Amino acid sequence: MSDAPASASTLRLSAEVSSARSYRAPVWLRNGHAQSIWPSLFRRVRLVSPQSEILPTPDQDELHLDWYRQGSGRVAVICHGLEGHSRRPYVLGLARALLDAGWDVLAWNYRSCGGVMNLQPRFYHSGATDDLDLVVRHCLRQGYQTLSLAGFSMGGNLVLQYLGEQSEAVDSRIAGAITFSVPCDLAGGADVLALPSRRLYMHRFIRDLKPKMAEKARRFPDLLSLDGYDQIRSFHQFDERYTAPLHGFASAGDYWHRASSLYRLKDIRVPALMVNAADDPFLSRNCFPDSPAMLGRWTKIEVPRHGGHVGFVEFGREGRYWSEQRAVDFLSMLVPA
């Protein structure tokens, strides 16, 4: 990570951001890139099949939900990462851990994710809190007394942005949130992923997004085109050309500023924990805020030395990763069984 604009590993972190239950990575996985890649290549999580539901949106679109119900009075809503979906191993791993701890779980897919193209020109982005609010309200209408939120990567930013926007108006049944590997500084994250050493990650994101953009261009040729797509090399280009105009932002820079939860953390009014590994290859220095002025009263951050991006690999009981046990511990502290 020597070519990063600012290395998280060099930060001088205060006592408030040190982990209460520190993660100890396996010796051969004490590298941010290895931690980030290993679960995608080798992890498999077995879980009972969910109950699927289609949730209509006010603009005649739809969201696809996966429910895991066991009659609990409390539910955890899980938000996946960029180009993820509700059945990725990291989502299933957390769902399994929460089910074992007595929670009901709802894992949902953003527009265009989960193998089903959405109906409207818009798709999803890091600040699409209107869709998360729709999911939360739908959950609460099911009669749950308590709801908690969990998010990974982009989903973590979405959760924190949502809670910051809700601020004092947050529903009293929302107990809190835990998030992992959060790119809360979207502009800095775009800069980091544009580095030559991050080319592998960036190439994969752009490659995975291409079929969606091709389908959007086919359905809405007056709004977007795929011409020149193969010349896109960064989120600077992708967000400027697609994300910003399709979602009402003036530019990529406008989108990154308005959708970065970094500027909303101080407004959160429920307990919220952000866990970002110091060796995460996706995050900029600003993704490790450690001042009360940025974090506010209710938001805390933990910075394990290792963990990569949505890694935190652990070979222990029942195949549970450290992040999953950390989430269970934190959310169970907020909402005892």
Per-residue confidence band for 248, with pLDDT thresholds at 50, 70 and 90: very high
Whole-number pLDDT of residue 80: 98
Rounded (5°) CA angle 266-236-159: 30
d(CA 149, CA 127): 15
Stretch 249-266: mean pLDDT: 98
Whole-number pLDDT of residue 11: 45
Exposure string of 25-49, with b = 16+ CB inside 10 Å and e = fewer, is beeebebbbbbbbbbeeeeebebee
d(CA 287, CA 282): 10
d(CA 267, CA 256): 18
Per-residue confidence band for 212, with pLDDT thresholds at 50, 70 and 90: very high
Q: Is the pLDDT of residue 125 over 90?
A: yes
Whole-number pLDDT of residue 21: 57
The encoded tokens of residue 281 equal 């290859």
Query: How does the average pLDDT of the chain come out, rounded?
Result: 93
How many helices, marked H, and strands, marked E, lie in the chain? Answer: 11, 8
For the stretch 310-319, pLDDT in tens is 999 999 778 8
The encoded tokens of residue 332 equal 């169970």
Whole-number pLDDT of residue 74: 97
Stretch 59-88: mean pLDDT: 97
Judge contact between 13 and 288, C-beta under 8 A: yes
H-type alpha helices, 175-310: 186-193, 199-219, 235-238, 244-246, 252-259, 292-295
Q: Within a 10 A sphere around the Cβ of 131, how many other Cβ atoms?
A: 21
For the stretch 139-157, pLDDT in tens is 999 999 999 999 999 999 9
Exposure string of 189-204, with b = 16+ CB inside 10 Å and e = fewer, is bbbbbbbeebeebbee
Domains, the chain = 8-196+262-334 (3.40.50.1820)
Stretch 238-244: mean pLDDT: 98
d(CA 327, CA 94): 8
